[in-house]
A and B are shown apart, each in its own frame.
Chain A
């Protein structure tokens, strides 16, 4: 739905990790952070956004 209206799919991620899988946790955190880093700062749906000149 969010993707349909134009929010980048990388911005909202879901995953399933068991409490014993700390290595998977690390992997997914890194993956999510890298994916968001790639799409850049969020400009959509942000309240009171200070726009860069």
Chain B
């Protein structure tokens, strides 16, 4: 059992009893192992259903847009930056949300675990020392959590919440030797045709279910560009140009707003790593405008501001 769980339930039940909030958004135990679905709790009796694990991959900031009434939400470092983003963009009011910060040591990738274990998994248990015990088909294996982390969690440098009303635990240490953009640099180093092949291959399995869009907290347009019919900018089939257009535009909409929470990748039924698109934009925002999403709500986002010193190398 995770050490945070008692504290999480205690905070949730206190806030509900005091009627400080109408609802608490957190995670529950899923019916399948390695998936923690989101849940909303409205009464103090139900807080026992709340849980915490290393499978809380979903970004709960997604449920805050245009919400009515006062709510409390559990937020990891990346979720918290998404909430700051929402505040900056006017999608949620700071006074309407109680942010319960959860310092995060990274979430695990369920596909990695399944691949290593091989058989069907019945149970995954985490020990406090970072050992993960996987059980299934009458056998049991032990792994290190650090080997099973999601790719985005491996390169995360904002593990601790940036804006919170309460913290569940003390902030966690952030390793200094993280190479944040190793993946992007690897792609950048390739020739242009190889890059095209790489991305063509990356999206070749996409079934256009839009799970990545739905899981993404930055995607809240009333009518998404893929649902527009007049004019129709993106074809609805699974033709490669259409799928590629969808992924390019989806990524572009998150430019300067994506917090690399990895919810899109975790939600994808086909296991597509669409972070290959968004991570590049994140890197560009940092390189060109020294901007990182969700660290402050006092500054306007990179693509919303103009200064005479902005780089314009690609202008004639």
A and B in contact, CB less than 8 Å: yes
Given A44-B196, A47-B235, A47-B239, also A5-B248 (CB < 8 A): yes
On whether the beta carbons of B315 and A6 are closer than 8 Å, the reply is no
Question: Taking the complex as formed, is A45 at the interface, i.e. its CB lies under 8 A from any CB of chain B?
Answer: yes
Question: Taking the complex as formed, is A8 at the interface, i.e. its CB lies under 8 A from any CB of chain B?
Answer: yes
Question: Taking the complex as formed, is B153 at the interface, i.e. its CB lies under 8 A from any CB of chain A?
Answer: no
Given A4-B187, A6-B192, also A45-B244 (CB < 8 A): yes
Q: How far is the CA of A3 from the CA of B194 in the complex (A)?
A: 12
Query: Within residues 179 to 201 of chain B, which ones have a CB less than 8 A from any CB in chain A?
Result: 187-188, 192-200
Q: How far is the CA of A45 from the CA of B200 in the complex (A)?
A: 10
Please report the total number of B residues contacting A with Cβ < 8 Å: 28
B281's partner among A1, A3, A31, A46 (CB-CB below 8 A) is A1
Q: Which residues of A contact B281 (CB under 8 A)?
A: 1
Please report the total number of A residues contacting B with Cβ < 8 Å: 19
In the complex, per-residue mask of B305-316: 1 if CB is within 8 Å of any chain A CB, else 0: 000000000111
On whether the beta carbons of A1 and B251 are closer than 8 Å, the reply is yes
Inter-chain contact total with CB atoms closer than 8 Å: 52
On whether the beta carbons of B195 and A45 are closer than 8 Å, the reply is no
Q: How far is the CA of A9 from the CA of B245 in the complex (A)?
A: 17
The chain A residue sitting closest to B196, CB to CB, is A6
Q: How far is the CA of A46 from the CA of B242 in the complex (A)?
A: 9
Q: How far is the CA of A5 from the CA of B198 in the complex (A)?
A: 8
Q: How far is the CA of A6 from the CA of B314 in the complex (A)?
A: 17
Q: Which residues of B contact A31 (CB under 8 A)?
A: 316
Q: How far is the CA of A5 from the CA of B188 in the complex (A)?
A: 9
On whether the beta carbons of B242 and A1 are closer than 8 Å, the reply is no
On whether the beta carbons of B280 and A13 are closer than 8 Å, the reply is no
Q: How far is the CA of A48 from the CA of B87 in the complex (A)?
A: 43
On whether the beta carbons of A7 and B316 are closer than 8 Å, the reply is no
Question: Taking the complex as formed, is A20 at the interface, i.e. its CB lies under 8 A from any CB of chain B?
Answer: no
Query: Within residues 139 to 158 of chain B, which ones have a CB less than 8 A from any CB in chain A?
Result: none
Given A15-B316, A28-B316, A31-B316, also A5-B235 (CB < 8 A): no
Q: Which residues of B contact A44 (CB under 8 A)?
A: 196
Question: Taking the complex as formed, is B117 at the interface, i.e. its CB lies under 8 A from any CB of chain A?
Answer: no
In the complex, which of the residues A7, A13, A16 has the most CB atoms of chain B within 10 Å of its own CB atom?
A: A7
Q: How far is the CA of A14 from the CA of B185 in the complex (A)?
A: 25
Q: Which residues of B contact A9 (CB under 8 A)?
A: 314
On whether the beta carbons of A14 and B316 are closer than 8 Å, the reply is yes
Q: Which residues of B contact A5 (CB under 8 A)?
A: 195-196, 199, 244, 248, 277
A14's partner among B200, B241, B280, B315 (CB-CB below 8 A) is B315
A residues in contact (CB < 8 Å) with B: 1-9, 13-16, 28, 31, 44-47
17 A–B pairs (Cβ distance < 8 Å), ordered by A:
A1-B280, A1-B281, A2-B248, A4-B195, A6-B195, A6-B196, A7-B196, A13-B314, A13-B316, A14-B314, A14-B316, A16-B315, A28-B316, A45-B244, A45-B245, A47-B239, A47-B241
Besides the known contacts A1-B281, A6-B200, 11 further A-B residue pairs in the complex with CB atoms under 8 A apart:
A1-B248, A1-B284, A4-B187, A4-B188, A5-B248, A6-B198, A7-B196, A13-B316, A14-B314, A16-B316, A44-B196
B residues in contact (CB < 8 Å) with A: 187-188, 192-200, 235, 239, 241-242, 244-245, 248, 251-252, 255, 277, 280-281, 284, 314-316
